Amino acid sequence: MPNLLNVLGRLLCWLGLHDYRVVDRTFEFGLGGDTEKLQCRRCGRTIIRNT
C-alpha cells in the first residue's frame, strides 16, 4: 500500500507543483548567462533553464 505522503507528492507533481533540485550548473560570461539543469525529487522530471 503506497504511503499517503508519496501519493500526495505525486498529485502535486501532476498539478504542476514540482520539488526541483539543481543537478548541474554551468557558468558562462556574455549573453548566454548561466544554465541550470533541474530535476524533480518526486517524479524525476528534468528541465533546463537559463538564469
pLDDT tens digits, 23-50: 999 988 877 789 999 999 999 999 999 8
> Where does the pLDDT of residue 11 fall: very low under 50, low under 70, confident under 90, or very high at 90 and above?
very high
pTM of full prediction above 0.75: yes
Residue 32: per-residue pLDDT:
75
Nearest to 51 by CA among 37, 43, 15, 8: 37
Beta-carbon count within 10 A of 28 CB:
10
Task: Give yes or no for residue 2 having a pLDDT over 80.
Answer: no
